[in-house]
Amino acid sequence: MSEPPKDPVKYVDSAVYLPYNYVAGDYKARYLAALKDKRIIGSKCSKTAKVFVPPLVCSPESFAPCDTFVDVADRGVVTTFCIVNIPVIGRDLEIPYVAASVALDGAAISIFALIQECKPADVRMGMRVEAVWKPDGERQGDHEDIQYFRPTGEPDAPQASYINRL
Amino acid sequence: MKRPVAVVGVGQTHHTSRRSDVSIPGLVREAVDRALLDAGLEHKDIDAVIIGKAPDMLEGIAQPEQFLAGALGAHLKPLLRVHTAGSVGASTALTAVTHVASGLYDRVLTVAFEKQSEGNAMWALSPNMPFTPPLVAGAGGFFAPYCRAYITKTKCPPHIGPVTAVNARANGALNEYAHLREPVTLDDVMSSPMLWDPIRFGETCPSSDGAIAMILSSADQAKKGPHKPAWVKSGYSYAEAMWVPGRDQVSPAAGRICAKAVYDKAGITDPWKQIDTAEIYVPFAWFEAMWLENLGFCDVGEGWKIIDRGEQKLGAHLPINPSGGVLCTNPIGASGMIRLGEAALQVMGRAGAHQVEGAKTALGHAYGGGAQYFAMWIVSSEE
Amino acid sequence: MTALRNIAIVGFAQLPIVARDEHRMATEMLYPAIRRALADCGVERDDIDYQIAGSTDYMDGRPFGFVAALDVMGSWPARQDLHLEMDAAFCAYYAWVRMQAGECDTALVAAHGKLSEGEPNRVLNLQLDPYYHAAIGLDAASTAALQASAYMARTGTTDRRLAEIAARNRTAGARNSDAQVRAPASADELQHTPWLVEPLRSGYVPPVGETATCLILAAEGKAEKFCDRPVWIHGVDHRTEMQTLGARDLSRSASTQLAAQKAFAMADLARAGDVDVVELSAATPAEELILCDALGLDTHADRPVINPSGGPLCGNPIMMTGGIRLGETFRQLAGRAVGREVHGAARGIAHATQGHCLQHNIVWVVGSERRWS
């Protein structure tokens, strides 16, 4: 035991170590596995036929089960976005980068995605984008199989078509 | 409500970035003791304690209300712990209101706090969510796209966010409890770094340590108190699902529904005319314009114009966040209750230098989650 | 005591408690429990006025983990809602208070959490005061052992007695298709399991398990439509104590005693022994004995039957355990405790707890008849 402190003890350091092993659930697992085949799948509401990506077990809107799976396109519309200047812990993305809400064709809700291959200042609401996949052989069946989305060059979608699909 | 409920005491800490002079129990006690003193009551007079705070990861203690039970004076009393994300401080106060309204409890202490300097707030708020690509750091990254959508839809000019921030900071300078108390200029805000475009650093709330406590009581108890109380005319907390197709994330339905319920119960048919001041939860400046619309103070698309015309400044028609709001002070778990407590102080005529002259009816509001949780109350100087 | 509103438990659904559900996330487990509870009541989601959920971020390993539950609770259009970082039994309490305030007539009380995803013991260490208790590495097993030790020292209770209580719970659990541990075990077998933290043997504590639960509460006027045999709430009260282990008499549960006193007075129940069924959130046999003492129950008597569900020893999904005790009591009185019914059960007590060493306790008294006319 060393000398007692001369000054009052003011702080106590406590490092927390908590391991977690999360269950993806069959729905998410199916979605992730399909990415390996360059497929994006969603689940369809048994009541309204709306498609949720990533797949949900239950429609948050109708409360009905979503028990069938359908493919959606790997392209869609940027409904809104922001340009990020703060680094994310545990990821090395070059700043600034664009984080966008993308409504894929066929899906009733949007996903969050990275937009690249264009200047952040060129990104706009309504811009048509497509997924850029990792090459064949490199895809693992996890969310990094889609590296990012890039502009397709198609004309922008009209505001009315996406402004309520944020 | 089965019977009237009054706010008979309010106590808060001097919010700041790091309260290194007190432990968590000390921080909480500071607010609690002030509230009790304010109400002219002692711990033995309290029938139950309702406490709220945001994720426990912020301080690293799981369910800290258990650790705090003794300090809260809750030994051998009922204690409940609420957690509804950012709105928690407000929903906690409303939980206490219901306890008194039920007739089962006469004097309830409600507390909300956060001592986030003791943990790593950024980590606590945005750790790697399983099976989801990490894209943004912090809440701002989540909300910035919806601020952008508002700006685009309403053609809101780029100075509105900065003007809101300047006004909030001017108000904060008058609030002895606020964390940020130096005014800022438009130039300060507009030249501050852009964090998540369109949200700038100068338009973002600080990270604060702080606590607030209130005593809610029955009418009988209120009449015995040393001060004129604030009367809770209505209060509701609502929540909506996140992934509803076409969900309006700029003006969420849950907010509109909650506001309508709160106004209807309080007999408010024209919020712009009948409400004297409002403390609303604005963690990023652009939300002030958005919430003015969501709360029915004006039509869709008109919120930013209220700010442009300066009608929400102290001394103007409808002072918004006379305390400086979340932009000046944000101990996450406490912020919602600070909104409700400040609204109460206004109608009690005890908001000091940031008092809105003659305020009789005030709205306190908070939100949380992906703008899914809403908790609000209307308080009045009249029973 | 002035008459209160008669409120009943009218529905309860849970998934079987399992060590780990490899196929579903917490919210995906909750959804079927909610659908089932509503279906059993013969109602739609829109027939419920209020929703309240219980879970903890730390057990979930996700800050704001409970927010995702909104999406499986039918939260569209927006609902009046609350979430407590507490066991479902406390959420049910607040729903009851709300009904007494006239704010709602029906309520859905949900609880969820996949305890298998993290290490609950580490989280329970973090539940303690960070300066002393947590710093010396106390976890749930060690604090429970401290309490057991204190109780055994004061009362002379033996290891054998603990084994007998554990065996009785195991026998009961074997008849409960929703329990996690469904193999009976004798006192001899359990007394031969190794020490976990002396004086608690591994056979005296539950394994880690998970499930999802949903309780439906309804006020008089609605309750009769939701359930053919509503289980009426006669009395309820809850109390906490300060956490500091050294500042409490761990061999007793002062908060349970006080909560019981208040709940019994509200219920006009003279003594705990007058009920037929008691479901206690006792994670160890020592806790069961301490709780029985606090309630004034003779643990050697055949009636009331204690933990006909097998109790937490046979399944302890943290944050749901207390709600399940309330649900099991409901099942007994409503004639839905298949394979394990306590015949003629007309009154019951359900208990839930939070925190180390029975820090915070709630006592419910329920019955087949209305309390107030």
Question: Rounded CA gap, B156 and B169, in Å?
Answer: 21
Distance of CA C185 to the CA centre of its chain: 23
Nearest to B132 among A11, A52, A143 (CB): A143
Distance of CA C216 to the CA centre of its chain: 15
Q: Are C140 and C120 in contact (CB under 8 A)?
A: yes
User: Is the CA virtual torsion B323, B326, B329, B330 positive or negative?
Assistant: positive
Q: How far is A100 from chain B (nearest CA, A)?
A: 7
- pLDDT, tens only, B156-192: 999 999 999 999 999 999 999 999 999 999 999 999 9
Nearest CA in chain B to C58: B62
Find the helix or strand (DSSP H, E) in which B332 lies.
Answer: helix B332-348
| A17 contacts chain C (CB < 8 A) | yes
Quote ipTM for the complex. 0.97
Q: Which pLDDT does position B137 carry in this prediction?
A: 66
Q: How far is C245 from chain A (nearest CA, A)?
A: 20
| A56 contacts chain C (CB < 8 A) | yes
Question: Rounded CA gap, C206 and C314, in Å?
Answer: 6
> Which of B290, B358, B278 minimizes the C-alpha distance to B325?
B278
Q: How far is B310 from chain C (nearest CA, A)?
A: 33
Nearest CA in chain A to B123: A89
> Which of A91, A114, A92, A93 minimizes the C-alpha distance to A102?
A114
> For chain B, how big is the Rg over CA atoms in Å?
19
User: Strand B277-279 to strand B361-368: parallel, antiparallel, or no bridges (unpaired)?
Assistant: parallel
Question: Rounded CA gap, C250 and C28, in Å?
Answer: 39
- pLDDT, tens only, B308-367: 999 999 999 999 999 999 999 999 999 999 999 999 999 999 999 999 999 999 999 999
Nearest CA in chain C to B55: C63
Does position B74 have pLDDT exceeding 90, yes or no? yes
Instruction: Tell me, yes or no, whether A6 lies in a domain.
Output: no
Instruction: Tell me, yes or no, whether B259 lies in a domain.
Output: no
Threshold 0.90, pTM exceeds: yes
For B80, the domain range is 5-118+209-224
Total domain count for chain B? 1
Does position B92 have pLDDT exceeding 90, yes or no? yes
Query: Angle, to 10 degrees, between the axis of helix C321-333 and the axis of helix C88-100?
Result: 60
Instruction: Tell me, yes or no, whether B163 lies in a domain.
Output: no
Nearest to C81 among B99, B129, B239 (CB): B239
Instruction: Tell me, yes or no, whether A70 lies in a domain.
Output: yes
Residue B63, Ramachandran bin (φ over 0: left; ψ between -120 and 50: alpha; else beta): left
The mean per-residue pLDDT over the stretch A35-55 comes to 97
Residue B69: which CATH number?
3.40.47.10
Q: State whether B62 and C79 contact (CB < 8 Å).
A: no
Question: Rounded CA gap, A35 and A92, in Å?
Answer: 22
Q: State whether B126 and A89 contact (CB < 8 Å).
A: yes
Nearest to A101 among B132, B145, B153 (CB): B145
Question: Rounded CA gap, A111 and C115, in Å?
Answer: 28
Find the helix or strand (DSSP H, E) in which C99 lies.
Answer: helix C88-100
| A34 contacts chain B (CB < 8 A) | no
C77 neighbourhood in chain B, CB within 8 Å: 240, 253, 257
Chain B, 138 to 167: residues with Cβ < 8 Å from chain A are 138, 140-141, 144-149, 152-153
Question: Rounded CA gap, B220 and B206, in Å?
Answer: 40
Q: Which amino acid is at B1?
A: M
Q: Which two tokens stand for residue C79?
A: 């609902």
Q: State whether B123 and A163 contact (CB < 8 Å).
A: no
Chain A, 38 to 67: residues with Cβ < 8 Å from chain B are 50, 52, 56, 60-61
B60 neighbourhood in chain C, CB within 8 Å: 126, 130
Question: Rounded CA gap, A154 and B8, in Å?
Answer: 62
Instruction: Tell me, yes or no, whether B219 lies in a domain.
Output: yes
User: Is the CA virtual torsion C168, C174, C180, C181 positive or negative?
Assistant: positive
Residue B372's beta-bridge partner residues? none
Q: Which residues contact B293 (CB under 8 A, 6 or more apart)?
A: B251, B299, B300, B301, B302, B303
Find the helix or strand (DSSP H, E) in which C260 lies.
Answer: helix C254-267
CATH fold for domain C7-119+208-226: Peroxisomal Thiolase; Chain A, domain 1 (3.40.47)
Total domain count for chain A? 1
Q: Which pLDDT does position B302 carry in this prediction?
A: 98
Q: Are B51 and B25 in contact (CB under 8 A)?
A: no
**How many Cβ atoms are within 10 Å of C149's Cβ, its own excluded?**
17
Question: Rounded CA gap, B107 and B109, in Å?
Answer: 7
Does position B142 have pLDDT exceeding 90, yes or no? no
**How many Cβ atoms are within 10 Å of B374's Cβ, its own excluded?**
35
Alpha-carbon separation of residue B102 from B1, B2, B97, B105, C5 (angstroms): 7, 6, 9, 7, 10
Question: Mutate which of C20, C31, C46 to disrupt the A interface (most A C-beta within 10 Å)?
Answer: C31
Q: Which amino acid is at A152?
A: T
Q: Which amino acid is at A142?
A: D
- pLDDT, tens only, A73-131: 999 999 999 999 887 766 778 889 999 999 999 999 999 999 999 999 999 999 999 99
Q: State whether C94 and B80 contact (CB < 8 Å).
A: yes
Q: For chains A and B, what is the number of CB pairs under 8 angstroms?
A: 117
The mean per-residue pLDDT over the stretch B224-234 comes to 96
| A64 contacts chain C (CB < 8 A) | no
Q: State whether A89 and B242 contact (CB < 8 Å).
A: no
Q: Are C65 and C26 in contact (CB under 8 A)?
A: yes
Residue with tokens 């000091």: B352
Find the helix or strand (DSSP H, E) in which C197 lies.
Answer: strand C195-197
Q: State whether C82 and B82 contact (CB < 8 Å).
A: yes
Q: Which pLDDT does position A164 carry in this prediction?
A: 78
Q: Which residues contact C21 (CB under 8 A, 6 or more apart)?
A: A23, C15, C29, C114, C116, C210
Nearest to C122 among A18, A58, A62 (CB): A18
In SS3 terms, chain A reads as: CCCCCCCCCCCCCCCCCCCCCCCCHHHHHHHHHHHCCCCEEEEECCCCCCEECCCCCECCCCCCECCEEEEECCEEEEEEEEEECCCCCCCCCCCCEEEEEEEECCCCCCEEEEECCCCHHHCCCCCEEEEEECCCCCCCCCHHHEEEEEECCCCCCCHHHHCCCC
Q: State whether C24 and A23 contact (CB < 8 Å).
A: yes
Instruction: Tell me, yes or no, whether A15 lies in a domain.
Output: no
Per-residue pLDDT of chain C (373 residues; tens, 9 = 90+): 689 999 999 999 999 999 999 999 999 999 999 999 999 999 999 999 999 999 999 998 888 889 999 999 999 999 999 999 999 999 999 999 999 999 999 999 999 999 999 999 999 999 999 999 999 999 999 999 999 999 999 999 999 999 999 999 999 999 999 999 999 999 999 999 999 999 999 999 999 999 999 999 999 999 999 999 999 999 999 999 999 999 999 999 999 999 999 999 999 999 999 999 999 999 999 999 999 999 999 988 989 999 999 999 999 999 999 999 999 999 999 999 999 999 999 999 999 999 999 999 999 999 999 999 9
Q: Are C15 and C31 in contact (CB under 8 A)?
A: no
Domain boundaries, chain C: 7-119+208-226
